[in-house]
């Protein structure tokens, strides 16, 4: 497996379906990957990295629980696209892996500030040039970025592009 390191570009709501979409962008590249999420995990991602004084969400309990058992989470990876649905793993420092719904793995990674990886072949298959979504660049004013992204996202749906989380009720 060849993993590409990703960063969170934006969390938006798809206009037609009203479903949350997390847009991941390559750290060292020009492609991005929209991932349709389940709403509770999108809400956790929207809060960003967990702060010391934040109330604990269900995702926030996983890391301290595992650390208490002697395990350290190294990151989250989207490892496959099968029948139009992503598959994801939570990766441990010792190399062990646990398969999770992509929404859950991404929520844990974002809340804990952990690395996010995407299998390079997935980006080759369904990745989009970031410039197509953000012609003014990802450093443009947020309002301009959202305008550019809305133009793109209005033209796609989770079913038409194979970006659906397998745990998603419609997926």
Q: Each residue of 62-117: pLDDT tens digit?
A: 888 888 999 999 999 999 999 989 999 999 999 999 999 999 999 999 999 999 99
- C-alpha–C-alpha distance, residues 25 and 6, integer Å: 5
Neighbours of 157 (CB within 10 A): 15
Both structure tokens of 147: 């305008």
Q: Each residue of 134-158: pLDDT tens digit?
A: 776 666 555 555 565 556 556 555 5
Mean pLDDT of 32-40: 91
Confidence (pLDDT) at 152? 56
Confidence (pLDDT) at 7? 95
Domain 3-161 has CATH 3.10.690.10: yes
Nearest Cα residue to 35 out of 121, 92, 101: 101
Domain residue ranges in the chain: 3-161
Q: Cβ neighbours of residue 117 under 8 Å, at least 6 residues apart?
A: 3, 4, 5, 6, 75, 76, 77, 78, 91
Mean pLDDT of 29-34: 93
């Amino acid at each position: 497996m060849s993993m590409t390191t990703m960063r969170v570009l934006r969390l938006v709501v798809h206009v037609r379906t009203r479903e949350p979409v997390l847009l991941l962008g390559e750290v060292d590249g020009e492609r991005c990957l929209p991932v349709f999420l389940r709403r509770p995990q999108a809400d956790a991602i929207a809060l960003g990295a967990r702060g010391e004084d934040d109330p604990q969400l269900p995702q926030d309990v996983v890391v301290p629980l595992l650390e208490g058992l002697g395990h350290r989470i190294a990151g989250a990876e989207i490892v496959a696209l099968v029948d139009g649905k992503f598959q994801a793993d939570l990766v441990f420092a010792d190399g062990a892996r646990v398969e999770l719904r992509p929404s859950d793995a991404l929520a844990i990674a974002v809340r804990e500030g952990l690395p996010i990886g995407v299998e390079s072949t997935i980006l080759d298959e369904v990745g989009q040039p970031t410039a197509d979504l953000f012609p003014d660049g990802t450093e443009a004013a947020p309002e301009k970025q959202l305008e550019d992204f809305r133009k793109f996202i209005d033209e796609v749906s989770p079913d038409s592009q194979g970006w659906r989380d397998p745990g998603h009720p419609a997926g």
